[in-house]
């Protein structure tokens, strides 16, 4: 398992070009993201597919966050 890593990542969550800086804690394959005071946990299912583990978000936002995480962490 990979060690925990805290990061601040700039992400276009909504896909509209509005960049937000999010706090991200990587816990192995699970990423805990703090967004606007809410916490989401997402996991990569494989390829470009991401799944919400905990929290409330639409799939497009989860995928946008996942794509940014993939690029940032070199997944």
Give the mean model confidence (pLDDT) for residues 32-59. Answer: 89
Give the mean model confidence (pLDDT) for residues 20-49. Answer: 88
When pLDDT is cut at 50, 70 and 90, the band that residue 1 belongs to is very low
CA distance 4 to 64: 22
Give the mean model confidence (pLDDT) for residues 28-51. Answer: 88
- The percentage of residues in the chain with a pLDDT greater than 90, rounded to a whole number, is 37
- Structural domains of the chain, count: 1
Structural domain span for residue 57: 5-73
Going through 1-75 in order, the beta strands assigned E by DSSP cover 5-11, 20-27, 30-35, 38-46, 49-54
* pLDDT the model gives residue 4: 65
H helix runs in the chain, sequence order: 59-73
Statement: residue 3 has pLDDT above 80: no
Which of these, 24, 45, 44, lies nearest to 33 by C-alpha position? Answer: 24
* pLDDT the model gives residue 6: 80
């Amino acid at each position: 398992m990979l060690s925990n890593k805290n990061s601040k990542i700039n992400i276009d969550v909504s896909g509209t070009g509005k960049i937000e800086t999010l706090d991200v804690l990587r816990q192995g394959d699970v990423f805990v993201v703090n967004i606007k005071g809410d916490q989401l946990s997402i996991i990569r299912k494989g390829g470009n597919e991401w799944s919400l583990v905990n929290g409330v978000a639409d799939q497009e936002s989860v995928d946008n966050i996942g794509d940014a995480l993939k690029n940032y962490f070199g997944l």
